[in-house]
Amino acid sequence: MEKNIISLVPTGLEGEIRLHIEKVKRQLEPGSALLVSGNVNVFYTTGRFFRGYVWIPAEGEPVYFVVKPRVYSGGTEKMEYIRKPEQIPSLLVEMGYEMPRKVGLEESELTYNDTLRLMKLFPDAEVFDSTPVLRNARMVKTPMEIELMRYDGERQAQAYSKVSGLYRSGMTDVELQIEIERELRKLGCLGYPRVAGNLMEINMGSVLAGDNADTPSPYEFAMGGAGADPSLPGGADGHVIGRHETVMIDMNGSFNAYQTDMTRVWTAGELPELAEKAQRCSERILRTLEREALPGREVCELYFRAVEIAEGEGLKDYFMGHSQQSGFIGHGVGIELNEQPPVAPRCKTVLQEGMTLALEPKFVIPGTGPVGVENTYVVRADGLECITHFPEAIQKFDGATDQQG
């Protein structure tokens, strides 16, 4: 079978990938270089996922070392097929590159053994952690990345617009989640949310109903939930959704390499005033942050402002959880669900235009369940631009109105 010519950097993306590489290179000292091999960073600096390594020197063009698949040709980038990383140094010398004084490896992402193996390739170089460099580059999105995320937000909103009609009386939270997963997938969701680190194991998202939201999680999610099995402790636990419970939908928005993060709340019945008040508070926090999150301000200011508003309304005990409270109200989002920066008290990162943030001021109301709104935003010169357009108010499930209370 004949194969078509496939360039490693996809045709049409050459300029975009050059922007990504430049954002990385700008952070490098003269005489230093990165050897990139983490999946997400390979994708970011190539526009494609392959198994191999991307060499990014402070001076000169990047070089792509491909282990597999061996299907690429015809691109303008410098590329070499290799069997193992030990071939890289001599190939670099042959190509006229000087051995760097400092080499960056993804020490916060690669395993200890993989890192040691790569360190041995550069015995005379000082090794530094390249994870912050790559996370910083990815933190501020290009216009094309923002357009991809805008598409994610539109598709995610389309899927959320089906939620009301998917509910049936007597349904469990897991059953509802399965129908939402299907709608997302039918709209093109890839169903594989990439996350940084090993503390966010999740399938396609979280459907959290009633007091299950108050089950503390071992993971780094904003909310908890017991999960359907002890081996995956988070989200829906399989109970029948109660009429006066809230149901928080926080499902995966990855319709391309990027993703949006959006949360909305539904219910079948009437809610106590405390839940309605907390929902209004969440919306007020978002309106405030949308105005005040201006380039130049520190990210932690957003966190403190949100806490201040929640406390001012006497809702502190329910904010970001009840039995266990999360220490953040949002996070960067992009190729990974949890990119830089965390919107947390110790984050001194300065807001910049083009950063993408998911803000999720949420509350857990005992006896009722979770309330609140999460949107994904782009930081603009005059505040936050929302890219997850969907009604924020708590919505009624269709077919729930004729039920007994």
* Residues engaged in binding a second copy (CB under 8 A): 1, 3, 10, 38-39, 43, 47-51, 68-71, 105, 107-116, 129, 174-175, 178-179, 181-182, 185-186, 188, 190-192, 194, 198-199, 201-204, 211, 214, 216-219, 224, 228-233, 256-257, 322-324, 335, 366-367
For the bound state, the minimum distance from the C-beta of residue 153 to a second copy, rounded and expressed in Å, comes to 17
Q: Where are the beta strands (DSSP E) in 154-272?
A: 205-209, 246-253, 260-261, 264-267
For the bound state, the minimum distance from the C-beta of residue 1 to a second copy, rounded and expressed in Å, comes to 5
For the bound state, the minimum distance from the C-beta of residue 198 to a second copy, rounded and expressed in Å, comes to 6
Nearer to a second copy, 230 or 405 (CB): 230
Nearer to a second copy, 217 or 375 (CB): 217
For the bound state, the minimum distance from the C-beta of residue 273 to a second copy, rounded and expressed in Å, comes to 19
Nearer to a second copy, 88 or 285 (CB): 88
Task: Indicate the SS3 state at residue 204.
Answer: coil
Closest by CA position to 134, among listed 157, 161, 164, 107: 107
Locate 242 and state its tokens. 């109660």
Whether residue 262 contacts residue 160, with contact meaning beta carbons closer than 8 Å, is answered with: yes
For the bound state, the minimum distance from the C-beta of residue 72 to a second copy, rounded and expressed in Å, comes to 10
Whether residue 239 contacts residue 248, with contact meaning beta carbons closer than 8 Å, is answered with: no
For the bound state, the minimum distance from the C-beta of residue 400 to a second copy, rounded and expressed in Å, comes to 22
For the bound state, the minimum distance from the C-beta of residue 69 to a second copy, rounded and expressed in Å, comes to 3
C-alpha–C-alpha distance, residues 192 and 61, integer Å: 32
Nearer to a second copy, 1 or 381 (CB): 1
For the bound state, the minimum distance from the C-beta of residue 321 to a second copy, rounded and expressed in Å, comes to 10
Q: CA distances (Å), 314 to each of 317, 318, 361, in order?
A: 8, 9, 15
DSSP 54: E
Nearer to a second copy, 8 or 299 (CB): 8
- Strand 63-68 and strand 78-81: pairing? parallel
Q: Dihedral, CA atoms, 234, 239, 244, 247, nearest 10 degrees? A: 30
Nearer to a second copy, 248 or 289 (CB): 248
Nearer to a second copy, 207 or 351 (CB): 207
C-alpha–C-alpha distance, residues 395 and 399, integer Å: 12
Q: How far apart are the first and last CA of the chain?
A: 64
Closest by CA position to 310, among listed 275, 343, 265, 278: 278
C-alpha–C-alpha distance, residues 124 and 128, integer Å: 13
Q: CA distances (Å), 153 to each of 13, 124, 165, 185, 252, in order?
A: 22, 47, 20, 14, 10
Closest by CA position to 28, among listed 102, 86, 96, 94: 102
C-alpha–C-alpha distance, residues 83 and 68, integer Å: 9
For the bound state, the minimum distance from the C-beta of residue 93 to a second copy, rounded and expressed in Å, comes to 26
C-alpha–C-alpha distance, residues 252 and 206, integer Å: 8
Nearer to a second copy, 17 or 285 (CB): 17
For the bound state, the minimum distance from the C-beta of residue 222 to a second copy, rounded and expressed in Å, comes to 14
All residues at 6 or more sequence positions from 50 whose CB lies less than 8 Å from its CB, including other chains = 8, 42, 64, 66, 67, 68, 69, 72
Nearer to a second copy, 112 or 123 (CB): 112
